[in-house]
């Protein structure tokens, strides 16, 4: 299995809702990443997990809360989001934090905040 699976593919949520994005991989990768991508812009790094521990937080607002319950699963919990948080959220994985190759991306969750 050489895939990163993200669910849901599309999500519409109100500003008072709580929702979660899910990312799963079964390649034995030990580093997992969340990126945020606005329209016509490159992906921007949000969080990095290494061996299920948070390694990098790129000064992301606390309304985004990541969680890595096991080596295959990465969640992004969303609460009290703003319309400007509407974007494509991409998950990726690699063999490890020091890997210089072999990054695999999921197909993304397209989030709309209303």
Name the site residues for another protein (rule: CB under 8 A): 33, 37, 40-43, 45, 48, 55-56, 88, 90, 92, 97-101, 103-108, 110
CB atoms under 10 Å from CB of 58, counted, come to: 12
To which residue do tokens 């969303």 refer? 78
**C-beta closer to another protein: residue 74 or 92:** 92
Whether the CA torsion 92, 93, 97, 100 is positive or negative: it is negative
**C-beta closer to another protein: residue 59 or 101:** 101
- Minimum distance between the CB of residue 22 and another protein, rounded to whole angstroms? 16
């Amino acid at each position: 299995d050489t895939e990163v699976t993200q669910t849901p593919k599309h999500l519409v949520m109100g500003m008072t809702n709580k929702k979660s994005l899910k990312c799963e991989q079964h390649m034995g990768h030990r580093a997992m990443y969340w990126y945020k991508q606005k329209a016509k812009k490159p992906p921007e790094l949000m969080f990095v997990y290494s061996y299920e521990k948070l390694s990098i937080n790129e000064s992301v607002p606390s309304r985004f809360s990541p969680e890595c319950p096991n080596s295959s699963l990465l969640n992004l919990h969303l609460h009290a989001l703003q319309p400007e948080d509407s974007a494509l959220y991409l998950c990726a994985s690699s063999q490890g934090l020091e890997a210089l190759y072999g990054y695999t991306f999921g197909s993304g969750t397209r989030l709309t905040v209303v």
